[in-house]
Amino acid sequence: MVELPSVEGESGRAALGRTLRFLREKAGQTLGQLAEETAYDKSYLSRLESGERLSKVAVMEDLGRYYGAGDLLVSLWKAARNDVFKDKYKEYMGLEETARVIRLFSLGVPGLLQTEEFAHYLLSGAQTTADSDEEIDEQVAARVGRQQLLERSPAPEVRIVIDEFAFRRPAALAQTWDDQLLRIEAVAMWRHVALQVLPFAAGAHHHMSGTLALLWQKDGTAVAYKEGNGCSELIEDQEEVLKARLSYDRLRDLALSPPESLAFIRGALEEHRS
């Protein structure tokens, strides 16, 4: 069993970095030795330990196996990842992590379904604010890392409604968009996921300015989260959550059925390749 250093009062990123250093020193290794044995660059490992960088979750999985630390580093990475996001979204993600039922509507490709390349395209495009390459990499790692919740055990019961708009805004690189459509197709076939496309034929609707998410916990408590036009709102009042649920249900009823939606996605992929 790993004996942990005290990380009370530290940020998630600082706690992760300190634990990485603790594990390395406990193993009696220098950064150079660790770099040789893991094939990760020495300066990169140093920046992880100092809390200057946020890695991809796969790096923490690798180092967790190397140190025999189980899922400790991945758990700390999830807390460190929250440092990348705004306060309201951090609170939402904490609830998302433990939700047993997830309902999501999105105008674009939702973060839970984005490939790493597509997420990078969205976060680094000409329409975005000028972040450094390092900041963009961290945002991509944090966004893609959230997708682990779809594959946890027990898996949450998930329904995702995506506006047709998302399929009419491809990535600039053909292969990036091809891979993204394949990712959506794959998730649409998962047994615990129901994926629906809301077609343009459904007409204008009341969530055309952003996203809506609904989460239910094991104890039955629920929250709603709205995001759009630079604003976000976490809704906990149960009367308001009920209104949001009814609103979501109306969109779901207007959407194509899951089999029809899968056919639509495959049609979009074929159209893209033609």
This model's pTM is above 0.75:
no
- 191 DSSP 8-state letter: T
- Residue whose C-alpha is closest to residue 214's, from 51, 95, 64, 121: 95
Each residue of 57-103: pLDDT tens digit? 888 899 999 999 888 998 888 778 766 665 567 778 888 989 999 99
CATH number of the structural domain 87-273: 3.30.870
Each residue of 188-233: pLDDT tens digit? 999 999 999 999 999 998 888 889 999 999 999 999 999 887 778 8
List every span in the chain annotated with CATH 1.10.260.40: 12-82
List every span in the chain annotated with CATH 3.30.870: 87-273
Question: Between the CA atoms of 16, 17, 18 and 23, what dihedral angle is there, to the nearest 10 degrees?
Answer: 90
45 touches 31 (CB < 8 A): yes
1.10.260.40, 1.10.3720.10, 1.20.58.220, 3.40.50.2300: which CATH number matches 12-82? 1.10.260.40
DSSP string, 100-146: SEEEEEESS--GGG--HHHHHHHHHSTTS----HHHHHHHHHHHHHG
